[in-house]
Amino acid sequence: MTSHHKLPFTICLLFIFCVAATAAGPAIPQEQKSYLSSHHEPHAFPNERLYRAYLVIQSFKSTIISDPKNITATWTGNDICGKTTYVGFNCATLPGTSKMLTVTSVILNGFGLRAPKLQGFIDQLPDLAFFHAASNDFGRGIPRLDSLPFLCSLNVGNDVFLEQQRKEKQEPPPTGYLRDSTGGGIGCVSTSIDFMFKFRVGPRNGGSIIPGFTDAKALLLNYNNLSGPLPANIGFSKLSYLALANNKLTGPIPPSIAHLQDSLLELLLLNNQLSGCLPHELGMLTKTSVIDAGMNQLTGPIPASFSCLSSVEQLNLAGNRLYGQVPDALCNLAGPAGRLANLTLSSNYFTSVGPACSALIMDGVLDVKRNCIPGFANQRGPAECASFLSQPKSCPAASVPVACPPAVDAKKNAAAPEGRVARDYSSYVTYATLHE
């Protein structure tokens, strides 16, 4: 079968570099076995991986109760990797498997699909490296991501232009490249699955392009009407981009989030119904440049561990129920200790700021409007502040000692980068997809 690798226009996917992810597929779940008698048999597919993917897709398709764009009408037959079939699914060839195609990305952004859950779908596609499904309605819960037995990465950067430059120079494709009908290519190397994307924000013929080049695994589920708590084991997923904005998620941020300290680059939990104490573990995300948990119901003081966020550039905790002092150790991250360019703490119940934080307010880096800070303009009324502050508080005190990872301590002793300029929101992966 001819290999076609479909490119959804919504995020301008240019080409995919694939590498080895050769773990054996999981056993076929019982609910998918019902398709064996009434659907295509295994011999109708190029390989067992695509047959298993077919069963997963058909099982998920049977749960979809709304499809306004009739996308699922293309999810039929045995040509999962076809140019016009199975819209939203993309395939790549794994090395060392006799050019065996498998489903490596699912992009359902903006389709308006409605289904009761994602469990049993993306967690049953073991070679899946990228899932983007903004503006759908997938109901309750987020699947167990730690069950996916693959290593993969998402690359977002200017290197997407290398393929165009190669074609302009009429250079031959690199060894191992597979051509598809769009003129792109797929090159197999080793150790992980690398996706190279160009994201455009705004009109198709204009807008901005996300700069930089970063390896990552992404789960982007903004605007999906998701409800229920975050999975307790979410920290074992090894995600690098996690965007769950504008849903109905409830409950606390799980402590396991700390286990993402070696991989998580951006975290977007904006506008949900998350509650509980602002967790100490968020401060362990030392590689994360975006932490946005604004417009939730989180409470407590800012933990001392937040002084360890040496990579954070955008920190938004506005619109919660936070209180106490805005710690100078956090505000110092806008200086030599870190990269902080924007700190938004408006619409909380903070009662004081230190000298470093006062300087950030003057510089326009820190927003503390609608808090309870005496002598500051645009604060809550005395009665509103007194009512909240008189309520019992159960969160740990912010003064609990914290030890930052050694790598963070080294950064604190390093000189600040010269000429640092705040980046535009569209330059961040999670914020850019928020506006897709």
Could you give the CA distance from residue 395 to residue 405 in angstroms, rounded to a whole number? Answer: 24
Lowest mean pLDDT across 122-131, 177-186, 242-251, 396-405? 177-186
Q: Where are the domains of the chain?
A: 1-136+143-201, 226-414
Could you give the CA distance from residue 20 to residue 251 in angstroms, rounded to a whole number? Answer: 37
Position 377 confidence tier, pLDDT thresholds 50, 70, 90: very high
> In 3D, which of 295, 349, 334 has the Cα closest to residue 318?
295
Reported as a single tens digit per residue, the pLDDT across 279-326 is 999 999 999 999 999 999 999 999 999 999 999 999 999 999 999 999
Contact 182, 14 (CB under 8 A): no
Contact 193, 408 (CB under 8 A): no
Position 39 confidence tier, pLDDT thresholds 50, 70, 90: low
Reported as a single tens digit per residue, the pLDDT across 92-135 is 876 555 678 888 888 888 899 999 988 888 888 878 777 888 88
Reported as a single tens digit per residue, the pLDDT across 194-210 is 333 333 333 333 333 33
Reported as a single tens digit per residue, the pLDDT across 339-364 is 999 999 999 999 999 999 999 999 99
CATH class of 226-414: alpha beta
**Is 278's pLDDT higher than 50?**
yes
Contact 110, 436 (CB under 8 A): yes
How much is the pTM? 0.70
What pLDDT was estimated at residue 182?
28
